[in-house]
Structure formats: C-alpha cells, structure tokens
Structure 1
Amino acid sequence: MSKYEMLNNVAHADLKIRLDRAAELGDDVMFCMTYPFEFRLVLSHYPILVYRDKDAQSAFPVALFGFEEGENLFLSGSSGWNARYIPIMVQRQPFSIGFQQVQGSSDKQQVITFNPAHPRVNREVGESVFNEYGGYTPYLDQVVKMLESIDTGHEQNRRLIEALDKYNLLEESTIAITLKDGTNYELVGFSTIADDRFEALSAEALDDLNKQKLLLPITMIMASMSNLGNLVDMRNAALG
C-alpha cells in the first residue's frame, strides 16, 4: 500500500506532475469511483454501475472503462485519453485528502497529501505544484477544488446508496459481453438499477428521492447504461 506524504512548499518546492494520459502513468484502470455531481458529464461516455466492495463492506457508483483488470478502452498510445471528460478520481491523481493532528488539541484538520511513488510525480517534467515564491500554482488551486468536491461527493454517494438500498432498486447481476471474435467477458460484482422496480415506485417514494436531490442522479445512472454497447464497439474495433 502506498504511503502518502503531506504536501508542503519546502520539501516539495520543485515538485512536478505529469498530466499526459498513458497506461504507464496509472491510467490503465478498468473503472473508478464517480459522484453524482459529475454524473451528467460521466454519462456522456461511460456506463455508471454500482460496485460492492465486499472486503470493505461498502458500495459506490463507478464509471466503467473496460471489461477486464487493467483495460481502459479510452486510452490510446498516440492520443492519450479519448473522451471529453475524465472522471475526477482519475484527474486528481496523485493527490488525496489527509488529516493532521492539531497541536494542543484532539481535533484533526484536512491537509493535502500525495503519493510520492506515483508515476506522475517527478521533479523535471509536467505542471509545477508551487510557484517560485512557494505559493500555489493555478494547477494546485485546481487540485484543491477537486479534492473539496470529492470530499463532498463521498457524502452524496453515501446518501445515494442508502436510498437505492431503502427502495430495493439495485439488482446485482453478471453482465455478459460477447465480442465479434467469440471472446466472452463476465462483469461480476456490479449492480444496476432495476427498471421495473424504479417504474413501480410510489408517488411518495419518488417525492422522497426528489427532495433528497437523488431522483435525477438515479435516472442518469439508468441512462448511462446505453454506453455499455459503445464499449463493446470500441473493444471490437481494437480487434481489427
């Protein structure tokens, strides 16, 4: 497991982050967590599924990029990531939110941390994190905004999953994919929203979801499933 360091403008004065997109920079991922605040952008390219991490006993929405571990169909060796939007959990790499003990208090405060072993991290090429005076660069300002959004997004995801479970809308299923060469893939551990259960919701349930500002995110998850066929087409095109 990677050890994160707290970012500071003395030890990391000359830190740079590569922003190009490539498998060797950690973009070769099959899926990543996503959040309701970005669903409108995510569904323009990616299927949104719910992944249940049985080890962590948690569930969260994810944007799907491929059909097997290490496959990202949106990556190209020549043109990088071929989509207008990249989910925020990918964009924020190698940074994360950490916590530091407040001196003389039992309270903890949020701090910016980063993974020094991440392949994007270096001191020669890429976007500078600090300027010559030790202040934040526009790039780091953008990272801070992303991390703040992610922090808010975790609460949105919690409420979303609670609502989906409350109204029994999630349907765990094995998604079977067959390519033109006869290769079969089975996506296991993912859930989709059951159309029939959603259509059968009472007016009271729909009103409750709407008041929680969850009705639109749920319908966007459902609409995003049309992108599954696009991923199959992309995988078939790669076969030649």
Structure 2
Amino acid sequence: MASQPANVMPLFYGNVMPLSSELHPTHGLKPRGDLGFTRGTHAVPVTVDEFTTVQRFYPIVFGVGDNPAPLALIGLQEGQNLYLGADDQWEAGHYIPAFIRRYPFMLARLNPQSQELSLCFDDTAGIVIADEGEPMFAGKDATDTTKAILQFCEQFEQAVMRTRNFMEELTKLDLLMDGEVTIQREGLAEPAVYRGFRMVDEAKLQNLRGDQARKMVQSGLMGLIYAHLFSLSLISPLFERQFAASQAATA
C-alpha cells in the first residue's frame, strides 16, 4: 500500500524513479487531464485518516492475504471502476482517495537497508516531462510545486503508518473474518454473491472484554471500525450502479 521494494510495483505505477535536480533539471508537472489510469481497478487502498469521508461514498473492506489493507470498493467486478465516466473523469461530487491523488508520485526507499524515503515518480504517467508544465526545480532547489507534492506524500506516508497500526490491532484482537455479501435483486433468477474480502466480525466485536472495548474507544479504533461497518450498507447501491452499467452496455 505504501513504500514497496523496487521490483514490486504498487497499483497504477509502471516504472518508479527518484526525482532529482541532477536527473530532471528541466522537468515540469503538466496539469492532469483525466483519471483514466484508474479505469482498470475496482478497489483502491485507503488510509484510516480517510475513513470518515470514504464511508459516505464507498464500501470499505479489507484485503486478503498476510498483510491486508483497507480498500474502498469503486466496483464489484475485477477491472471495473464504476465512478469513471467515458471521458475518464471521476463522477462529480464523489471523493477521490488520496492514493489516486498522489499518483504519479510516491515516497520510496532507494536502498532496502535505508530508512530514508525519497520522492519518486512514475515516468510512464506522461505528466512529469522535460521542458513542460510547472517547473519542478529552480537550479538545484525544489520549487513550491515540488515542495507541495513532497508534503502531501509525507502526510500520506504518515497516514499509512497509522493504518498499519490499526490493522495490527485488528489482527491482534482477531476481529477480521472472511466477508460474503448476497444481493437478491427483483427480476434476477439467482442472487449475486460477492466474496474475496475481509470484514470485521461484529459478533467478536460485541464480545470483547470491557477493558479492551474501552481502550479501543479511547484510541479512536472503535470509531474507525464502525465507519467500516456502516460503509458496508453501500454495497447494495454499488450493485445497483453495476447493474445499470451492465444494462446500458447491452442496450
């Protein structure tokens, strides 16, 4: 979800390289014209800092595997983003997760043994280009544009660390379970069943010891859990959005 080894590219990223005044003295940032790079995904990583906003727009679930991360569902089928229009613009009035907004930049460790993070960018994105856009450097100094990007990426990385702590607590308390949602729509012969994600087990949550529950309330963990649980009610509207898209495609 955040910094990864160079041979493991995060979602959306094609080729990550460090940004520097030596290598990119005349590079500039072109305005982003669209979000077409998100078309092929149905789930976007989100941080705990975003939960209260995200839960108003998208279901929040957790990935599977050894290191599950929170995900905002923007579709119910692989490769289908239901919030991106034919013009590659995000649907007006809907929140765009920070993971998307930071692209094509990210902080990454250039040396696996180093703790230092460097500002990098995806040079396949086509918006950080020599002799075009808002300059990234003035001589050897970063411009305000580059400083703002670095600040945003640093804030995002800090949110990622808080998210990892949140996930560690959920794992420690054994609160995650395999998720399953069944939707029966009038007119459909068979119900739609969705799996392949994890969610908080409400029965286990309700049976926590009093001291554990109190600690979770005080730390803010409980509020994050309920933001996740409340957001699951948006799976049905998301299914309706998918159904309408499929109907339009076959019309």
TM-score by length of 1: 0.81
**Which residue identity lines up with residue 28 of structure 2 in the other structure?**
L
Gaps of 5+ in 2: 1-8
Q: CA deviation at 1:174?
A: 3.1
- Secondary structure (helix, strand or coil) at the match of 2:116 reads strand
Q: Which residue of 2 aligns with 1:49?
A: 61
CA distance in 1, matches of 2:51, 2:30: 26
Q: Which moved more, 1:40-49 or 1:142-151?
A: 142-151
1:16 aligned residue: 29
1:166 to 151, 156, 172: 172
Please give the secondary structure, in 1, of the residue aligned with 2:228. helix
| Cα distance in structure 2, aligned partners of 1:221 and 1:60 | 12
Supply the distance in 1 between the matched residues of 2:146 and 2:82 (Cα, whole angstroms): 28
What is the aligned counterpart of 2:71 among 59, 62, 79? 62
The more displaced of 187-196 and 32-41 is 187-196
Q: Is the 8 A contact 1:16 1:124 kept in 2?
A: no
Cα deviation, 1:110-153, whole Å, max 9, x if unaligned, reads 2101111235554587x535266665455434422331122112
What residue in structure 2 maps to residue 198 of structure 1?
205
- Contact persistence 2:18–2:118 (CA under 8 A): yes
Name the structure 2 match of 1:73. Answer: 82
Distance in 1, matches of 2:61 and 2:141, equals 39
The amino acid that maps onto 1:145 is Q
Distance (whole Å) between structure 1 residues aligned to residue 180 and residue 101 of structure 2: 29
1:231 alignment partner, SS class: helix
How far is the alpha carbon of 1:35 from its aligned partner? 0.8
More strand by share: 1
| 1:118-197 matched pairs, under 5 angstroms | 118-122=125-129, 128=134, 130=136, 136=142, 138-177=144-183, 182=188, 186-197=193-204
Q: Closer, same or farther in 2 for the Cα pair 1:209/1:100, shift >3 Å? A: same
Three-state SS of the structure 1 residue aligned to 2:119 is: strand
Cα distance change on mapping 1:179 and 1:136 into 2, 3 Å: farther
TM-score normalized with structure 2 length: 0.78
In structure 2, distance between residues paired with 1:27 and 1:58:
25
In structure 2, C-alpha distance between the alignment counterparts of 1:178 and 1:141, rounded to whole Å: 50
Instruction: Work out the number of aligned pairs and report it.
Output: 231
Percent sequence identity over aligned pairs: 20
Helix, strand or coil at the partner of 1:109: coil
Distance 1:167 1:142, change over 3 A: same
Identify if the C-alpha distance between structure 1 residues 118 and 78 changes in structure 2 by more than 3 Å, giving closer, same or farther.
Answer: closer
Query: Which structure 1 segments of 5+ residues have no match?
Result: none
CA shift for structure 1 position 194: 2.0
Once the two structures are superposed, what CA deviation does each residue of 1:84-113 show, in whole Å capped at 9, x if it has no partner?
311111111111112346xxxx85522101
What is the root-mean-square deviation of aligned Cα atoms in Å?
A: 2.8
Distance 1:138 1:68 in 2: 40
Residue equivalent to 1:221: 228
